[in-house]
Amino acid sequence: MSKLIITAALTGAEVTKEQQPNLPITPEEIALAAREAYEAGASIVHVHARLADGTPTQSKEVYGQIQRLVAAACPAIFQPSTGGAVWHTAQERLQPLELNPEMATLSTGTCNFGTDIFANPQEFMEEAARIMLERGIKPEIEVFEAGMIDNALRLLRKGLLQEPLHFNFVLGVPGAMAGTVRNLAFLVDSIPPGSTWTVSGIGRQETPLAVVAMAMGGHVRVGFEDNIYYRRGELATSNGQLVARIVRIAQELGREIATPAEAREILGIASKT
């Protein structure tokens, strides 16, 4: 069984300071949160940029500032979101790819997202995949519904994705696929042999699905984007606190924690130097 890759989803696009006072908003705060998560055991930091007032933004300039500060703070893999907020345009969402990050997210289908619709039409999926392929960016295929795996495999057949693929199963978003062990097992059984995968359990499903994923040989994402609580009724103090819990459980299960360098090797991320 490979070493465990832990991703810290630091901020997201929906959580507010009112909901979670410890939420990192500014580039400086996000870089500090990235360092704390890395020191706790994370090898990837998943980033949504915000403006100073907390508004989600896909600005290349803001992401660039975050990327530079994160690189100075720690060696974790910087993974910007191309999902943004549900109201961002396709052009806005693709801006972070201009920074040539090692890795970025690629959502391969449209789904309900709470009271909104997270739209990812075919044209957008193909354009995002093409840009990542041309720039040597490793896509993390975001799967909220089972059909998104089929869409990813169509992109693979068109030559817009390259194996081995890496998937992130986001389970428990209201309106999308529920955060159950049965659903996770079905999704894992549906991806090509040799693929790697991570699970992102939303809300109270975060830790239970993480434990199951670790036992199955998968990888784990935690952080304020997915869950703001440490336990029922108790807000987490930091993203690092959520990462540290996963590390403790992994140690009990006998899963060693991957360093950023080891995560790059597991995921097949080519060096950009």
Q: What is the mean pLDDT of residues 48-53?
A: 97
Please check the confidence at residue 273 and state whether its pLDDT lies above 80.
no
Dihedral angle sign, alpha carbons of residues 67, 69, 71, 73 = negative
Token pair of 14, please?
């929906």
Has residue 83 been placed in a domain? yes
Query: What is the domain count for the chain?
Result: 1
Has residue 51 been placed in a domain? yes
Residue 271 pLDDT class (50, 70, 90 cuts): low
Has residue 154 been placed in a domain? yes
Q: What is the mean pLDDT of residues 195-202?
A: 98
Has residue 272 been placed in a domain? no
Cα 250 versus chain centre, distance? 19
Has residue 82 been placed in a domain? yes
Please check the confidence at residue 184 and state whether its pLDDT lies above 60.
yes
Has residue 273 been placed in a domain? no
pLDDT digits (tens, 9 = 90+) for 83-121: 999 999 999 999 999 999 999 999 999 999 999 999 999
Has residue 184 been placed in a domain? yes
Structural domain boundaries, residue 256: 6-267
Please check the confidence at residue 164 and state whether its pLDDT lies above 90.
yes
- The C-alpha angle 66, 123, 79, rounded to 5 degrees, equals 20
pLDDT at 257: 98
Q: What is the mean pLDDT of residues 247-270?
A: 96
Euclidean distance between CA atoms 197 and 216, whole angstroms: 10
Has residue 227 been placed in a domain? yes
For residue 222, the domain's CATH number is 3.20.20.70
